[in-house]
Each structure stands twice: as C-alpha cells, then as structure tokens.
Amino acid sequence: MMTKRKFLLTAVCSTLLLFGCGQKSGEQAAQSTASGASAAAVADDSNPIKVGVLHSLSGTMAISESALKDTVLMLIDEQNAKGGVLGRKIEPVVVDPASNWPLFAEKARELLAKDKVVATFGNWTSVSRKSVLPVFEELNGILFYPVQWEGQESSKNIFYTGATPNQQAIPAVDYLLDQGVTRFALLGTDYVYPRTTNKILEAYLKSKGIPESDIMVNYTPFGHSDWQSIVADVKKFGAGGNAAVVSTINGDANVPFYKELANQSVSPEQIPVIAFSVGEQELSGIDTKPLVGHLAAWNYFESIDTPANEAFIKSWKDFKKDNNAVTNDPMEATYIGFNMWVKAVEKAGTTDSDAVQQALIGVEVPNLTGGTAKMLANHMITKPVFIGEIQDNGQFDVVWRTEGEVDGQAWSPLLPESANLIADWSAGVNCGAYDKTTQKCTAGTQ
C-alpha cells in the first residue's frame, strides 16, 4: 500500500516582491540566514526531515517538470520504507512555481525560511535556477539541480547533477562532425541556457574549422508555436547538404517544431535534429511519427539495459500505477542527487547544511546505466554520454556512447572569459571561480 503523505501547501508572497515579503534589516537578514543554516539543529529529532520539491506543475514547463516532482516523491517513499534517514522519516514539501521565474525565488524562500527544509530538489530552466540561486546562498540552503545546463557558474549551495556542455552539447557536435555534418543550425528557446550553450558551441565549431557563415543561430520565446518561417529558413540553410539542427528548444514548443519539420518534408536523412531537451517524457502522449529518426543527446535513456535501470523502471511504473509511464534523463539525475544527499547526511551524521555540503564532495553512488556518479569538488558530477535515435514507440535506440564517465566542467575553456577558471569547493580552495593564472578567487567564495 502506498505510504500516506501529508503535503504542505505554502502561501505565495506578493508577486511584487521578488525575493520575499519585504526588505529585511541587516539583523533580520542575519537571523533568516541563521534559521536557514541551522534548521536541522533546532528541529526535534523525532520530527520528520523536511525536503523541498520545487518544480513547475503548471505552465509551459509542466510537460517536463511534473515527472520530476513525482520522482522525488517515489524516492522519498522508498527511503522511508528503509527507515528514513538518521532514523527519521522524510517529509516532502511540494510547491508549484508555475513556470514563473520570479515565483521560483518566492517559493524557494518559503521552503527555506518558513518550512525549514534541509534540502531542495527542483528547477528545470536555467533562468529559474538563476532566480533561486541568491535565495539559497543567503539562507545557506542546498539545491539539487537535475537538468542539463550551460555551466559558467558554481555555487556553494547548488549541486548540479545535470549535464554541463562538455557532457552533452560538445559530444553531440563531435558525433555530427564524425557523420560529415559541416553546416549547423543552432535553434534555441530565448533564455540563459540556450544562449550560453550556443556561444560555447559556436566557439567550438570555429575551433574545428567551421566558418561563421555555416553556423545559423535563432531564438524563440517559451511556448513558441508558429515555426513555419523558421523551418523554411532551416530548409534553405541546409539545401546544400551536410547540415544538421542542434536544438536547445525547451518545453512544449518542441511539439509544433517537429510537426512543422514534417509538414515541410524535412527528414532526418536530409537535416537531422539533435536535441538536448527532448526525452521520453516529452515524447509520451504525442504523435512520434514526425520525430522518428531524429536524435537526442542525454546521459541516460530508458532503453539502456541494466539491472539497476530495470528495477528503477519497474518502481516508477508501480508508483504511477501506469504500465505506460516512462523514465528519462532528468529523472535519473534526480535519482542520483537524492541518493547522494542520503549518503552525505549519513556520512555527516546530521542534516546541518554546512556539514552536508562538505560531506557531498567525493560521494559516489551507482547511476542507472552501469557506471558510477561521483560528486566533484566543483559540485558537478561524472556522467556518461549517449546519442539516441528516436523510435516510433517514443523510445531511443542508442547509436553512440562515451567509453566511460566524463567529468563535468563548471567553466568552459572555450570562452576567453572563463578559460583560466575552475571551481573547487573543497576546504583548501573554497571558491566557485578560481583563476589558475593569478591563483586568486575571482567570485563565488562563501
């Protein structure tokens, strides 16, 4: 029988206030920081351990994020069945930021300051992560971020279990180059992740001898639905052959994009699309015919045959009470992050934020594809990379993979402004942006 949960619904502060209900004095801010940092210390040991679940359950990103909320709930149920953590049950606090980026910050503040959660699992888009980052840093919370992203950041308070560009975008472009592609259309949704990722990809392509004239870049708003002219431009751009689309289009805009490709008879044999935000969850419940043969780059696919993945898939279908329920890459990243948190709490012997942050560095847990995920000192993890071809059943046939795990890079060496930077949150360096040349911390100390 499914464990009965008590969901805590939090109220929303005024939408006029981005980071909370009014400006705080220095003394009040210090009190808030202290309450966030030591929530575990003041909690009764007999009380449940509260964790936040910060995912959009409505709006344009609900198509992707709703499954991650359920993934956290399933993992909590499973851990509670084992006795919880440190002998205490885990209690989820679920909120809906509704694909509204400022609302993410308000909800994060409520989770930390009001609900006293000791860790939060959440966010999808980089703009939402950027929105909550100062809140987690101010209140010394812990956020596990499970989605592919652009890098160029490392926070003491965020643990990034999704892919950085060198763990997804760069290998995808390498694969296309090996297939003879010489012209690249970089299409993305207009926000931080696509713009920064494409900036890195442009630099990488040019380093590989691709001229700027053979690189097309286009951005569209969230939820964009009229793709006729853009697809026509792509078709014209690729008319000479050896062209491909590298897609950082996010959310429900993917559905009309692929439909328009089919409407204009743009086949994967002519101009293949390799996507970074289209997975099994996005393909479920839609007509996959327009997508068959196109590609996606991820660090996990449901179709990968390992005992751990088989068990995870079964647990998910049982939890959803739906034999057609699918798994995907950000779900595996959530699984990895949750298990790392549990292991770090047990290692530290406490849920205190500072202690858990330090305990997380170096933690290793099995991934679902037969390897091991390790939390690095830069707060990124090790991940394998897979290229999959979309099948008519909404699954992926893996056509390429790395030989082993790839270390995530916080800062891209391809961009001049970050070429000399690394992140290292271990005790000796304790810096999110350390300049190897000057041997100074330029930003990100705590």
Indicate the number of domains in the chain.
2
Separation between Cα atoms, residue 207 and residue 333, nearest integer Å = 31
Cβ–Cβ under 8 Å, residues 391 and 397:
yes
Query: Which residues partner with 398 through β-bridges?
Result: 388
Residue 294's domain spans which residues?
166-302+386-407
What is the average pLDDT across 142-155?
A: 96
Q: Do 121 and 265 share a domain, yes or no?
A: no
Q: Do 260 and 402 share a domain, yes or no?
A: yes
User: Confidence class of residue 240 from pLDDT cuts 50, 70 and 90?
Assistant: confident
pLDDT digits (tens, 9 = 90+) for 100-131: 999 999 999 999 999 999 999 999 999 999 99
Q: Do 69 and 110 share a domain, yes or no?
A: yes
Query: Angle, to 10 degrees, between the axis of helix 254-263 and the axis of helix 228-237?
Result: 60
Q: Do 50 and 178 share a domain, yes or no?
A: no
Q: How many CA atoms lie within 13 A of 60 on its CB side?
A: 17
**CATH number for 364:** 3.40.50.2300
Q: Do 249 and 325 share a domain, yes or no?
A: no
What is the average pLDDT across 180-191?
A: 97
Q: Is the pLDDT assigned to residue 375 strictly greater than 70?
A: yes
Amino acid at 384: P
Q: Is the pLDDT assigned to residue 421 strictly greater than 60?
A: yes
Cβ–Cβ under 8 Å, residues 223 and 251:
yes
Q: Is the dihedral of CA 285, 297, 228, 98 positive or negative?
A: positive
Q: Is the dihedral of CA 325, 330, 336, 342 positive or negative?
A: negative
Reported residue count of the chain is: 446
The pLDDT assigned to 322 comes to: 96
The pLDDT assigned to 44 comes to: 53
Q: Do 98 and 201 share a domain, yes or no?
A: no
% of the chain exceeding 70 in pLDDT: 89
Q: Is the pLDDT assigned to residue 417 strictly greater than 90?
A: yes
The pLDDT assigned to 434 comes to: 96
The pLDDT assigned to 204 comes to: 98
The pLDDT assigned to 345 comes to: 98
Mean predicted lDDT score pLDDT of the chain: 90
Q: Do 31 and 155 share a domain, yes or no?
A: yes
Separation between Cα atoms, residue 22 and residue 322, nearest integer Å = 44
Q: Is the pLDDT assigned to residue 19 strictly greater than 90?
A: no
What is the average pLDDT across 279-301?
A: 91
Q: Do 325 and 247 share a domain, yes or no?
A: no
Residue 113 lies in a domain: yes
